[in-house]
Structure 1
Amino acid sequence: MTTATLDHLVVTAAKLDSGVELVETTLGQPMDGGGDHAAMGTHNRLLSMGPEDYLEVIAVNPAATAPGHPRFFDLDNRTGAPALTNWVMRVDVLADALEVAPPGIGEGLALSRGPYAWRMAVPADGKLPFDGLFPSLIQWDSPNPAPAIPDGGARLIRLTLTHPDAEGLSQALAPFLDDDRVVVTEGPVGMEALIRSGGKDVVLS
């Protein structure tokens, strides 16, 4: 098994403010930090889910220069209400992980934001395998942002991935992940996270 860890969850939005409102209303906690990704023409905000996990809201930055290539998480085609659409797995060596990842995962790109630097698998068309339910793979060349985000006590209890080819998705994940918080079920494409926040269990989808 390639060493991998759930790194963070991703809420995509047509506009950053609408994604932030969804998360803050659902979890009852303010988002913090974030910034711009110049190479992708995007911007984000973050929320802690513990010392290693976090939640990201990301959207196209209307003030940024278009990158000239598809943005990650299929953000170029993002319309409608904000939603939890993607997740990211942290790997020790991205090049090794790409060798066993499913077709369409993309090639590693060097990216940065402020003090953070990472390499991330970005598909050529921006669309991740299994209708976006296979995670993007990331190798951090700096610490990830989680320890620097104020911890309001939110914790991921379960991430449920629903796909018509649940068996295929499970097999694709098997070389990477051993995390009983991640559950794969058969059905229409969808993703939801059960998160404990403020003493309550809430669903973000």
Structure 2
Amino acid sequence: MGSTEVDHLVVAAASLEQGAAWCEAVLGITPGPGGKHLLMGTHNQVFSIASAAFPGTYFEIIAIDPEASPPPRRRWFGLDDAGLQRRIADAPRLVHMVARSRMLDMHRKGLADAGIDPGPPLTMSRDTPQGPLAWQILVRDDGVLQLGGALPTLIQWDGTHPTERMPASGVALRGLQLGGLPPEVRQLLALQGVAHAPAPALRAVLSTPLGDVTLETA
């Protein structure tokens, strides 16, 4: 069915201002610009963390957009969960990983055959100063992350990938570990460069201007 690759890490913040301050203090860089997701009522800041082991990978700091109208559905990455909102009130947290697929429909069917509902494909886009970005992404209607957050959200880009327009940031992904994926899901996704262990759901090791930094989900 084909392998998947690490596309981006997702850090949830109470606000983008909080997220930028955290990024400067913890990772030693100022995050790059992002954009708005009208369907989800969120906005983000992004920067490249690509490395030889994880090409085409970036870092996303995401928050609920206070200027956006309430969305007609639950937001992605569990951002509407009251527990998560309490946890990020004091500081942003790593919450998830998105994996890149070139055969989204086939991977979705494979997960369904394994008894896992990753959600329907949503067609999304956003404008950037360098031109539009377009993608399909699997998001459950209830916004809940599966397998305790260990199951990556699957995305398939249409045309340009965001990292093609991102300069080097000084931060690079050195290692990534997932915990909690059943063997059949590991085999289905065949995530490139990812190690597997019992817990936590996600642990990332990043090289930064401040030295190596380890982030992990609760």
Distance 2:156 2:31 in 1: 24
- What's the RMSD between the two structures over aligned residues? 1.8
CA contact (8 A) 1:111 1:118 kept: yes
CA contact (8 A) 2:45 2:60 kept: yes
1:86 to 2:103 alignment: no
Q: Deviations over 1:92-132 (max 9, x none)?
A: 12111101125121010001111101000001210121111
Provide the TM-score with structure 2 as the length reference: 0.84
Unpaired segments of 5 or more residues in structure 1? none
Task: Summarize the Cα distance change of 1:33–1:105 in structure 2 as closer, same or farther, 3 Å threshold.
Answer: same
> 1:171 offset after TM fit, Å?
3.2
CA contact (8 A) 2:150 2:181 kept: no
> 1:160 offset after TM fit, Å?
2.3
- The match for 1:95 is 105
Distance 1:179 1:5 in 2: 5
Distance 1:46 1:19 in 2: 11
1:186 to 2:198 alignment: yes
1:63 to 2:67 alignment: yes
- The match for 1:158 is 175
The one-letter code matched in structure 1 to 2:38 is: A
Task: Summarize the Cα distance change of 1:22–1:192 in structure 2 as closer, same or farther, 3 Å threshold.
Answer: farther
- The match for 1:116 is 133
Matched position secondary structure for 2:80: helix
- In the TM superposition, structure 1's runs of 4+ consecutive aligned residues that sit over 3 Å from their partners are none
CA contact (8 A) 1:156 1:195 kept: yes
- Aligned pair count? 199
> 1:2 offset after TM fit, Å?
2.5
Question: Identity over aligned residues, as a percent?
Answer: 34
CA contact (8 A) 1:29 1:152 kept: yes
Unpaired segments of 5 or more residues in structure 2? none
Provide the TM-score with structure 1 as the length reference: 0.89
Task: Summarize the Cα distance change of 1:8–1:167 in structure 2 as closer, same or farther, 3 Å threshold.
Answer: closer
Aligned pairs (5 A) from 1:125-164: 125-162=142-179
Task: Summarize the Cα distance change of 1:110–1:167 in structure 2 as closer, same or farther, 3 Å threshold.
Answer: closer
Matched position secondary structure for 2:147: coil
